[in-house]
Chain A
């Protein structure tokens, strides 16, 4: 099917120079290259090449290089793995990692089953799925900054604050919410879940609605009730998407920045300082120049950890899916 397009390549092959006549070949190649569509090829990859070179590949390489240097942007000296050693022995980084894991854990506990549950319910109702989908997706549409600022107001520790007023209706005393070291992280997770659940719900809903109906029919023939159907048909069919969503969520929560940054700035007393916030502070907090080497070192470490995690994950789930 792709013969016609490969025609260009075969012309090039025939134009490959023989070792004994290099000059002749060089004179022939540009023309054949052009005729073979080489220029068009090049022009089409040019935009991608341009943006990726300057704004993706090059910065990645620079990041690794910078992580091995101590630089104040004027003079850079090579310090090898010093930056890595420094950050790995920084108790603040340890704290940030724990906070990030805590956020990820809470987000998984609350934010993972909830959308699935809602999606299952939504898939069962005969009518109204469209309306429910739209309602569920609304919070996702709100720009995250607006959502956080709105919830920051909701979380006012004043007795007259929005959430405290609601608590008052059921007789619970006003809470400090994001101003308390213990309540701060759960408060952040609550808002993050609210803002993100809709997306997951829609994805699960689509998956649920694509389960081949014959499977349910067959299960019923074997006498399966509702729960058995869920256990033996629905969940296994959803396994793939569940696995993907799980790892995606872990990777996303590992990089949470906006919520801690806008809600608490990492406080109170560092209770919500995540790894990304740690990196940001290292690089940009000090007006006289940040620790760019250390900041990039931590981001490289993070990338490596996430990569290893994903690889392990896919190896594991590969084995499960095939079993």
Chain B
């Protein structure tokens, strides 16, 4: 058997050499003709063509100002199975964004580049909203990213359905009891679901957490020593579940779809089948662009607060850099982050240029955001870009006026997605089983979550 074996080995060697050579050829990154190549995240695959046009325009503007940097836009989506593998394999863009909740895990795994000096040099350290900056600071006190955008929790409602039900679209409900009444009125008058909530793909847990926070409690406490305690079994979560139970089984105003997630609930709302729901405050852009919503029906207000320490569950993302890039690329990356993400928050010219470019390519300008810097700066920036705002701000007034009275609260930091998945189950049980034992569900969920946190 010697010869065939030898031939086999020879063949494998040939393939391997060819592969290695091919590998060398493919590894052509780095600097070409003196420019520093910088791979930056742009949009998730499948984004609007107009979004890419807007980006292309901005890329040109940047390269004009910084001719020594060559920007290469790379499609990027922070979720999905590929992210983890690419992150581990280091094949993500040099500059990319991650949500707040994941930053702690990434920090612990050493998968983010330390940017403390860069932030200091640019003079931003004191400018950031301290609550938000804390999310990007490691246990070692170093900063690992630039918070670039944040959102709060909001109650979205259909002005049209409100009118049909005899409710005033400019005076949306301000307490949970009022929401319940309004939902019933809408269902009675139009037959559509008055209020619905997400329940699958971890969004159920997300919204349950959001409403727990709005009712004054927390689902998890992150302890100083790095461990975490699950506090799912609390009066606010209970009240939320009882609220859902009442709407679904007593008032019949929840509608027949109980398996909704972020995408499908947006779809229902945009199609005019849903009166009210809670979600992030920044979804207007997506509703119009991706879900075909008619802007005139849209209304947004704050989530009602009650209880001891209510807050609005905020989220957002951070611009970070891959930890394996060299010093030159890092410098280029900082310049890009500053120019693309930060400047428009602080500098009038940059803000105006950004708004103008976006408006020209038909992108939304002016969707209310939670400021990562200070409130004053944020409101000033709105004045700067006044002329380009193309979203119906007056329909969102109930939100923008009242959000400042609410305390932003961050999502739980440990095992966030796993705990959300556990809570998903609880929400689904309540919505599909009229006789679900809420107390038992909460107790079980808390012990399951604690087991996950202790892993």
On A, residues with C-beta under 8 Å from B are 12, 29-30, 33, 38-39, 41-42, 46, 49-50, 72-74, 156-159, 161, 176, 178-181, 264-265, 267-270, 283-290
Taking a contact as CB atoms closer than 8 A, the residue among A38, A49, A72, A267 that contacts B200 in the complex is A267
Establish whether residues A268 and B105, one from each chain, have CB atoms under 8 Å apart when the complex forms. Answer: no
Scan residues 233-287 of chain B and give those whose CB is less than 8 A from a CB of chain A. 256-259
Question: Beyond A156-B256, A178-B259, A287-B83, is A33–B4 a contact (Cβ under 8 Å)?
Answer: yes
Taking a contact as CB atoms closer than 8 A, the residue among B102, B258, B428, B429 that contacts A287 in the complex is B102
A32 CB to nearest chain B CB (Å) = 8
In angstroms, Cα B201 to Cα A267, docked, is 10
Taking a contact as CB atoms closer than 8 A, the residue among B3, B4, B88 that contacts A289 in the complex is B88
Chain A contacts for B81, CB-based, 8 A: 283-284, 287, 290
**CB-nearest residue of chain B to A174:** B256
B7 CB within 8 Å of chain A: yes
Interface SS of B by simple majority: helix
In angstroms, Cα B89 to Cα A131, docked, is 55
B425 CB within 8 Å of chain A: yes
Establish whether residues A38 and B3, one from each chain, have CB atoms under 8 Å apart when the complex forms. Answer: yes
B76 CB within 8 Å of chain A: no
B432 CB within 8 Å of chain A: yes
Chain B contacts for A178, CB-based, 8 A: 259
Between-chain CB contacts (< 8 Å), 21 pairs: A30-B3, A38-B4, A72-B109, A73-B84, A157-B258, A158-B257, A179-B256, A179-B258, A265-B200, A265-B201, A267-B424, A268-B258, A269-B432, A287-B78, A287-B83, A287-B102, A287-B417, A288-B84, A288-B105, A289-B85, A290-B84
Chain B contacts for A158, CB-based, 8 A: 256-257
Chain B contacts for A284, CB-based, 8 A: 81
Establish whether residues A265 and B3, one from each chain, have CB atoms under 8 Å apart when the complex forms. Answer: no
Chain A contacts for B11, CB-based, 8 A: 42, 46
In angstroms, Cα B102 to Cα A29, docked, is 61
B2 CB within 8 Å of chain A: yes
Establish whether residues A72 and B433, one from each chain, have CB atoms under 8 Å apart when the complex forms. Answer: no
Scan residues 81-109 of chain B and give those whose CB is less than 8 A from a CB of chain A. 81, 83-85, 87-89, 102, 105-106, 109
Question: Beyond A269-B425, A287-B78, is A29–B2 a contact (Cβ under 8 Å)?
Answer: yes
Name 7 extra pairs, CB < 8 A, besides A73-B85, A269-B432: A74-B88, A267-B259, A267-B424, A267-B425, A267-B428, A268-B428, A287-B79
B45 CB within 8 Å of chain A: no
A37 CB to nearest chain B CB (Å) = 11
